[in-house]
Structure 1
Amino acid sequence: MAKVKKQPRPKAITPKGFRDYFGAEVTQRTEMLHAIAGVYHRYGFDALESSAVETVEALGKFLPDVDRPNEGVFAWQETDESGQGDWMALRYDLTAPLARVYAQHRNDLPTPYRRYAMGPVWRNEKPGPGRYRQFYQCDADTVGTASMAADAEICAMLSDTLETVGIPRGDYLVRVNNRKVLNGVLEAMGLEEDAASRDDVLRTIDKFDKVGEEGVRQLLTKGRLDASGAYIDGVGLSEEQAAPVLAFLTSKAADTAGTLENLRAAVGDSKIGAEGIAELEQIGALLAAGGYGPDRIEIDPSVVRGLGYYTGPVFEAELTFEILDEKGRKRQFGSVAGGGRYDGLVKRFTGQEVPAVGVSIGVDRLLAALREKGRLATQPTGPVVVTVMDRDRMADYQAMVTELRNAGIRAEVYLGNPKNFGNQLKYADKRHSPVAVIEGGDEKENGVVQIKDLILGAKIAENATLEEWKERPSQFEVPRTDLVAKVREILESQG
């Protein structure tokens, strides 16, 4: 009889481009999302949880050709008996599902519809350092109004959100631009009807933050040598044609009025450009009326990311404080959120243009920023651990932990082998527990419990020569009836 081949054990590895999140990280993210949701709720936005799976047809963006309908997303085909069926995919953002939800339920929703959504999204892209295929986004959108008050409100809400989660004023800036102004510049260049050249210009503008004014000038005209020495062909525009783009990108002045004046010169007689400038002017006035000055939100035409996607105002939240990169060099932290007006997205479903504006916060980026600022605890606080001195008295220990939990104190009973008490304290240390509760047979007989301050005990152990620590007891014997009160007192003393 042939020997049955043994199946190899599966490898315990995380799939490429994905990662696992443990207790402290999950708690930090949950608390931050709760704080953000509080701001959004205060602004009148309602929560929406849409499906994590959409049809590829509804997602739309990732349909480059018939043969590869799953390009850019994690997709599969649900086939029927004939082998035909719809292609389904995990959502790649939270905006495309919103367009589908609004188109499907618009008769039942208020207009305008204000919603926020938080959750993971998935992209079938090549992973890299800090770049994962699953990550969290946090969005807020207003659908159904063309009023610039909606755009101004999103910017104000983004500013309030950053300050609420712990980014102080002065460490961030929300910068606002407008796609219509760029359209006016393209019109002034004579490219409004030349789709290929217009797309080339848009791609070049998107490199402004990397190559600067002179680099963009070279790429718009004859081309340039990059840092590696390779020659990059230019778009082929004349210096005169490139001038309006450069004027647009460098039009930021000392104040909003000066910036708008420079933009008017850049767009010339373009009607759409003038409309975009008027929208920026209106947003600026609304923000000023709400007390949001240029120290928090400013008009800045150098904001170019997303201009190819958005149809009107576009904004980006940038953190301005410096951090050290992996090579020890100082650099600004950079962008943590972006958004803008996208009046054409719902039209794919309804055939009618529906105005919409929204913002998306990169949750992982914002959490990383809070860690850099020291606004997140690097050491998590674990539960109070009720130790087990006698396995036959588990009911007594369970009663203790129930009292603590009912008092709002995080607590657990040690559930491992209680034979070695030292191992129980090692477990509490690994759990980052602030307090251990001890009740042996003698304590039970005398109606008392021992309560050990593990945080203070660790400090005493680290600084055994410091008299001020020695003078402070780290373990207390109290009546059993005072268990909750003493534990709470110690926790409060620990901060």
Structure 2
Amino acid sequence: MAKNSALIDPRLPRGFVDFEPADLAAVEEMVAKIRHVYERYGFDPIQTPFFEYTETLGKFLPDTDRPNAGVFSVQDDDEQWMSLRYDLTAPLARYFAQNYQDLPKPFRSYRQGWVFRNEKPGPGRFRQFMQFDADTVGAGGPESDAEMCMMMADTMDALGLAGKYVVRVNNRKVLDGVMQAIGVTDEAQKLTVLRAIDKLDKFGPEGVRLLLGEGRKDESGDYTEGAKLNVDQADAIIEMMSAARLDDLVDLEAEAGPDGFLDAEFKTPALAKFKITQAFAEGFAELQSMATLFTSAGYGPDRIKIDPSVVRGLEYYTGPVFEIELTFKVQNEKGQDVVFGSVGGGGRYDGLVSRFRNEHTPATGFSIGVSRLASALKLTGNLNAAPVTGPVVVTVMEKDRIADYQTMVADLRTAGVRAELFLGSSKNMGKQMKYADKRNAPAVIIQGSDEREQGIVQIKDLAVGAEAAASITDNAAWKTERPGQYSVPRDEMVNFVKAIPAVAAWMKANG
């Protein structure tokens, strides 16, 4: 046979992955536990489409012929730009604004789904990944932010990660206040500073210092432009994010003067060169209120703690920000021990809904990176990615009796058993058994002419057979004993199959 030169190479685009049945089943089990916690807190599900108008996504407004910086975009038939959603928060803001009159306020919802980012892929960094969000829209006090942090902690506990995580909390007003104090007022420069701080876990203090200054070149030679801060400004930022506690930085007993600055001073050397701002004081007070709520609800600093280094990269946050950090160590690609790091986070975004409506609408929420969290659960043994129990396979011994075999399959399915008829072309029993093994079938059913005349079927419990195979070394003994194989009257077939442990376990798990 001549080679077909027109064959298409079966390959995936960079940054996308396929998912196997075992991985999907394990993630589904994990997601069910997350959903249970969210619903216990009173959140209800909604679902938004994969596509939104590009302008809905905010920061990706089309300023070129084709908006493609960060998002995947297409034009519909009336030349409106649409983009695959970048996260689940901007679509929620659109949904809330569009359905404002009919929704309760505050509006509490959760959403699970795929998001898409047109960015450079890398190890553990994909262009399509799943998020699981929870948000409260219409509640402005720090108690709603504190509740989000508590729910994050309870979710980690429910997933078996107690003692292996900490929810870290900061406030964008604190960060904005420090930048205002050191003279950083340009919005683009502020965003560059925030993104530099957000790289602390990845690059360390010295790497962040480079990003705060002229810029940083990575090992591949790629250069990232810096925030262009001077030495005093960079020292102040480094000092702030290195503090173990916010109240190590400042004594906030003084009141603000007419210029918005406080008479109190920063305690640390680099920050002491600058004045405290009103924004810093407001953020600090909100964090103090949240800390009181954590303590009163029984969440100690081993589970939730105030941390000045937390930033979150998205620019729409306006108040408290928080993230879940897993604290156990793993080995990186260089074989070095590193902390696993963040698997989710969020914060307050009071300005997002106001893009669609004139009134001020406070909102807060968080997002879990499902794929990254699944990787963490695998490492800790809390994610069961075992092969999915396959169907009971009814083999085909006589092609002219397909209807009889299909009746067996129908009887099993009616009784709630997962079952299928072998639909391949081979009558060879060895090949049909190999197929059943690849399907991870718990059992196979065999009925040839001899069994049909006797009114019986042969049922092979493949798990029992595999276990016996490990202890029987003599081939003749194997053929004589036929471990795990049973002759069963045809009218007792269904009840016998239902009693096979692997089948019974699947039925129990699937209702």
- Give the CA deviation at 1:79: 4.7
In the aligned structure 2, how far is the partner of 1:326 from the partner of 1:462? 37
The secondary structure found in structure 2 opposite 1:107 is helix
Q: 1:209 aligns with which of 201, 205, 209?
A: 201
Indicate conservation of the 8 Å contact 1:122/1:134, yes or no: yes
Task: Tell which deviates more after alignment, 181-190 or 137-146.
Answer: 181-190
State the TM-score, normalizing by the size of structure 1: 0.85
- Give the CA deviation at 1:9: 4.7
Match of 1:478 in 2: 488
C-alpha spacing 1:423/1:174, structure 2 compared with 1 (3 Å): same
Indicate conservation of the 8 Å contact 1:188/1:244, yes or no: no
Task: Tell which deviates more after alignment, 136-145 or 436-445.
Answer: 436-445
Deviations, residues 57-89 of structure 1 (Å, cap 9, x unaligned):
212211363444333222122355xxxx31122
Counterpart mapping for 1:211-290 below 5 A: 211-216=203-208, 220=212, 235-239=228-232, 241-253=233-245, 259-262=246-249, 264=251, 265=266, 269-290=276-297
Counterpart mapping for 1:1-400 below 5 A: 8-63=6-61, 65-80=63-78, 85-164=79-158, 166-191=159-184, 193-195=185-187, 197-216=189-208, 220=212, 235-239=228-232, 241-253=233-245, 259-262=246-249, 264=251, 265=266, 269-306=276-313, 308-374=315-381, 375-400=383-408
- Give the CA deviation at 1:454: 1.2
C-alpha spacing 1:299/1:404, structure 2 compared with 1 (3 Å): farther
Deviations, residues 413-450 of structure 1 (Å, cap 9, x unaligned):
21223511111100001111122222333333334332
Aligned residue type for 2:27: R
In the aligned structure 1, how far is the partner of 2:321 from the partner of 2:17? 32
% identical aligned pairs: 53
Indicate conservation of the 8 Å contact 1:226/1:232, yes or no: no
Match of 1:441 in 2: 449
In the aligned structure 1, how far is the partner of 2:279 from the partner of 2:100? 30
- Which segments of structure 1 move beyond 6 Å, counting only runs of 4 or more? 221-234, 469-472
Deviations, residues 313-358 of structure 1 (Å, cap 9, x unaligned):
1111122222233343332222111111111111111133311111
Aligned residue type for 1:170: G
In the aligned structure 2, how far is the partner of 1:122 from the partner of 1:316? 21
Q: How many residues align?
A: 476
Deviations, residues 2-37 of structure 1 (Å, cap 9, x unaligned):
xxxx99454433334333333223333333333322
In the aligned structure 2, how far is the partner of 1:462 from the partner of 1:71? 57
In the aligned structure 2, how far is the partner of 1:417 from the partner of 1:173? 56
Aligned residue type for 1:118: Q
Match of 1:3 in 2: none
Aligned residue type for 2:70: G
The secondary structure found in structure 1 opposite 2:364 is strand
Aligned residue type for 1:178: N
C-alpha RMSD of matched pairs (Å): 3.3
Q: 1:413 aligns with which of 421, 424, 431?
A: 421
Deviations, residues 126-178 of structure 1 (Å, cap 9, x unaligned):
333333322222111111110222212222222222333x3420122221111
**Gaps spanning 5+ residues in structure 1: where?**
1-5, 254-258
Aligned residue type for 1:101: Y
C-alpha spacing 1:329/1:484, structure 2 compared with 1 (3 Å): farther
- Give the CA deviation at 1:214: 4.9
C-alpha spacing 1:26/1:377, structure 2 compared with 1 (3 Å): closer
The secondary structure found in structure 2 opposite 1:319 is strand
Indicate conservation of the 8 Å contact 1:343/1:356, yes or no: yes
Determine whether 1:430 maps to 2:423. no
- Give the CA deviation at 1:107: 0.9
State the TM-score, normalizing by the size of structure 2: 0.83
The secondary structure found in structure 2 opposite 1:280 is helix
In the aligned structure 2, how far is the partner of 1:7 from the partner of 1:170? 57
**Gaps spanning 5+ residues in structure 2: where?**
252-265, 506-511
- Give the CA deviation at 1:362: 1.1
Indicate conservation of the 8 Å contact 1:391/1:418, yes or no: no
The secondary structure found in structure 2 opposite 1:185 is helix
Aligned residue type for 1:450: Q
The secondary structure found in structure 2 opposite 1:152 is helix
Indicate conservation of the 8 Å contact 2:171/2:319, yes or no: yes
